[in-house]
Homo-oligomer: A and B are copies of this chain.
Amino acid sequence: MPPSVFIVSDGTGITAETFAHSILAQFDQKFRLVHVPFVDSIDKAYATVQKINEAVALDGRRPIVFTTLVDSASNEVVKGCNALVLDMFQTFIEPLEHELEIKSTHAMGRVHQNADTEEYKNRIEAINFSLAHDDGQSNRNLAEADVILVGVSRSGKTPTSLYLAMQYGVKAANYPLIPEDFERGKLPTPLLEHRTKMFGLSIDPQRLAEIRNERRPGSKYAAIENCRFEINEAESMMKREGIKWLSSTHKSIEEIATTILQEIKPERPSHY
């Protein structure tokens, strides 16, 4: 029976979950995750304690509880449960209050940008932009793009573009490099004036063949020789054109996106 881990939050719990995930990944051990979002009243805090204490009996051991409760009273209630409580909030708020010499607001639901803010609208606009400029669908407003990803079909451009838009509000277009481009030996014409915003994705040919075979089994498109050819041509072109690129083979979307931001440095809000 893996230990139970409760993620208790007064909001979505996404911050707590992201953090718990990164901490728990440090243990060679399975865990059973239980999400308890929207704990925004004392009653819900008591109900949560009951749920946690029931797990003690079921599991035969104390659970682990990650909390990000802003309200001190609810937080005190939850801390009364029979578990190892890792209080992510209080632990850091107090030293910060001391350092900044101001009190925290203890306002709930501050984590995610409110749907009415300018920043939030920018993010939605970036998602729409990235969708409209997926896979070279449109050359309109390419000048507005913060980043233009290039690479052969199925090298990871679409998820990366959407992640950049969703997470960072970065307008990320993506453009495929196709056999016709390799024959001409030139980048697609609409991209030529945007070289400084371009970033390339490559991928191991073997892996590319696997991915393409899932879509179109046995096709020339998916054949290993064709994948080798396309990757070889694409990498040569990127080198020749001075475009920075990376291999997506063993990287997560998050790692690819972070690397691109470091290299291209689009404007991002650094104050808030």
Q: Which positions in A face B, CB cutoff 8 Å?
A: 2-3, 11-15, 18-19, 21-35, 37-38, 62, 64, 68, 70, 84, 86, 88-89, 91-93, 95-96, 99-100, 102, 104-107, 110-116, 120, 124, 127-128, 131, 134, 158-159, 162-163, 166-167, 248-255, 257-258, 261-262, 270-272
**Are B166 and A100 closer than 8 Å at their CB atoms?**
no
In the complex this chain forms, how many copies of it are found?
2
**A251-B29 Cα distance, complex, nearest whole Å:** 36
Q: State which of B3, B27, B29, B258 has its C-beta within 8 Å of the C-beta of A37.
A: B258
Given contacts A15-B18, A19-B15, contact A27 B102 (CB under 8 A): yes
**A261-B111 Cα distance, complex, nearest whole Å:** 19
Having A32-B270, A112-B252, A115-B252, one finds 7 other A-B pairs with CB under 8 Å, namely A12-B254, A14-B258, A15-B18, A15-B22, A91-B91, A131-B158, A166-B253
**Are A33 and B262 closer than 8 Å at their CB atoms?**
no
**Are A272 and B31 closer than 8 Å at their CB atoms?**
yes
A-B contacts, 6 listed (Cβ < 8 Å)? A23-B93, A26-B105, A28-B105, A32-B270, A112-B252, A166-B253
